[in-house]
Structure 1
């Protein structure tokens, strides 16, 4: 039994339910049988990866869904061996080099060079592949490499990526996924087609939730469910993935959803509640002892795999709601400084604790 977010994930471009103009542009790119390197960016839960896989389905057909996981071994300059998981199909690879920290350059150089230096041969002559039936002898003569969290790559890895794009552009196509383009170096942005995927509106998220509720025969106390679905969407900040998970959780908790109860649509994650309480503690008690307690909280959050940048962002917004409006600009400036340090350093706990100490000092002024 799969989660609804996976069960109802669109498999083709025709099944996508919002941003029709972007869908048409991607369909036009796929119909040519060739496309440039792509940099797909947008907020979390906007459907970036879903659209990418739908585009690959349009280009290569259902074979892109035959996935397997390979474990690759890389050796660093210090003779340290690293194991790295690669999700692949006959036509594409999906990697997350940022998982290797500052060794992401090794993955970029070795893995992409190995894939790109091998020319792809199409024996099908374009027949029977892809949903459009287009193509010729060169239709599949490149392999697609999807790079997750491209904005978390180190500068060295991005420089290596740029050289790979230039040298092996005939054999591979790169599709980079990121939440923002601010951390991507200009040479990469100039060599890719930028595709922005905006977050869906609350009405669009509500429409998706209503469709799934009919498919799953979810019962409600009232026939007017639109305000409930929009409340779920707004509570989840129009993050479609989070909205689907939230709605499924509510549906599993009760046999019949009470639409008239305003609190029914609100589900707060444990780590979000912890950060909210931490923000209140920092704003109200600016002492060394409280800073030590904050360090324990940060360790706990990091040990549960909450990304440090997510912690920093959530803590900033919670602090802004707890302090005077005049302090908001200074807090954002402090957060921007430590956000950059998170991308440059290795020990994220140091920078999170440094941000907390700096905020305490700023609030004492």
Structure 2
């Protein structure tokens, strides 16, 4: 049994239910004979990957859904062997080079060069005759090192006849200018609470979810806002509520699903505010290790902690300004360094100093 987020994921452009203008643009690109490199960016849960696969379905047909996972082996300059998972179909590859850390350049240089230097020969599908190239989807493109991005730029220039890249990221601020200039930038905004509500209503009818009496639209809106307009998270939360009881109480006091790691970070923000000392830093270091060991990305921890601190001190504009400035400094250091714990701990210590400056 699959989760609702997978079960009701659109597979074609015609099934997409929001951002119609973007859908029309993607349909036009898929029908053109000159499909460009794409840089698709937007918040988590806005539907970037879904739109990409719908576009690929428009170009290559349903064969794009025949997925398999291959394990590729790469050798670094120090003769160290690295194993890397590649999700692929006959017409595309999906990779996440940033998983390899500072060795992401090796993946870019070896894998993409191997794919790009091999011309597509399977033209059994009539529509593919106009698209004699292979698509490579690169996830978390904003986490690529500068060396990897430079290697990516050279690949785009040299093998543009045989390969098309679709870069996926949340923000383009860390993408180098030469890559931006060689790609078509498409921003996918988060769906509105009303759009999420329509999707939830559709699933309610198809899954025959039982709701208590009350303002259903208000409940959908509250669930969408609690999920930060993240459609994937809203669907997962809704399914969890449906699994917990036969009838969902949609009254205003219905407890919505809160993620444990978000609750922990909110508690960290309160500790930073109330106990600004070395022992608190030592205690929070253990908490950060726990979060990192549970695969919560360091930059997500930093961003969430920063926003929680801003919420706690929103009335003090100067304090908020300095905390945000501090967060931007350590966000850059996270992208340049390898030991995340150092930079997260540094942000906590610096934030304590800033807060102590304004709160005595």
TM bracket, shorter-chain basis: over 0.9
- SS where residue 364 of structure 1 aligns? helix
Instruction: Say whether the 8 Å CA contact 1:85–1:95 is kept in structure 2.
Output: yes
Q: Provide the residue aligned with 1:132 in structure 2.
A: none
Residue 165 (structure 1) aligns with: 156
Task: Tell me what 1:315 maps to.
Answer: 305
- Cα offsets for 1:105-156 (capped at 9, x unmatched): 00000000000011112433x52x4xxxxx6x4x231000000000000000
Q: Normalising by the residue count of structure 1, what TM-score does the alignment of the two structures yield?
A: 0.95
Match of 1:295 in 2: 285
Write out aligned runs for 1:225-264 (5 A). 225-264=216-255
Q: Tell me, yes or no, if structure 1 residue 339 matches structure 2 residue 326.
A: no
1:175 shift after superposition: 0.2
Provide the C-alpha distance between the structure 1 equivalents of 2:141 and 2:305, rounded to a whole number of angstroms. Answer: 24
User: For residues 1-365 of structure 1, what are the structure 2 equivalents within 5 Å?
Assistant: 1-124=1-124, 126-127=125-126, 129=127, 137=129, 139-222=130-213, 224-264=215-255, 266-323=256-313, 324-326=315-317, 327-365=319-357
CA drift at 1:223: 6.0
- Please give the secondary structure, in 2, of the residue aligned with 1:175: strand
Q: CA deviation at 1:6?
A: 0.3
Distance 1:148 1:262 in 2: 38
Query: C-alpha separation between the residues in 2 aligned to 1:91 and 1:69?
Result: 14
Partner of 2:131, secondary structure, is: coil
Deviations 1:280-309 (A, max 9, x none): 011000010010001000000000000001
SS at match of 1:162: helix
TM-score normalised according to structure 2 size:
0.97
| Structure 2: runs of 5+ lacking an equivalent | none
Q: Is the 8 A contact 2:214 2:251 kept in 1?
A: no
C-alpha deviation, 1:201, in angstroms: 0.4
Residue deviations 1:298-349, cap 9 Å, x none?
Answer: 0000000000011001101111122352211100000000000000000100
Q: Which runs of 4+ in 1 moved over 3 A?
A: none
Question: What displacement does 1:364 show?
Answer: 1.7
Shift of 1:27: 0.4
Query: CA offset at residue 31 of structure 1?
Result: 1.1
SS at match of 2:219: helix
Partners of 1:48 and 1:197 within 8 A in 2: yes
**Cα distance between partner residues in 1 of 2:184 and 2:219:** 38
Residues 33 and 59 in structure 1, CA contact (< 8 A), matched pair in contact too: no
Corresponding residue SS for 1:271: helix
Offset, 1:33: 4.1
CA distance in 2, matches of 1:304, 1:122: 42
Q: Is 1:38–1:194's contact at 8 Å kept on the other side of the alignment?
A: yes
Secondary structure of the residue that 1:188 maps to in structure 2? helix
* Secondary structure, aligned partner of 1:59: helix
Aligned length: 355
Deviation per residue, 1:250-292 (Å, 9 max, x gap): 111111111124333x211110110011110110000100100
**Coordinate RMSD, CA, aligned:** 1.1
SS in 2 for 1:316: helix
Inter-partner Cα distance in structure 1 for 2:33 and 2:221 = 39
Answer yes or no: is the 8 Å Cα contact 1:206–1:226 preserved in 2. yes
Q: Distance in 1 between matches of 2:254 and 2:278?
A: 37
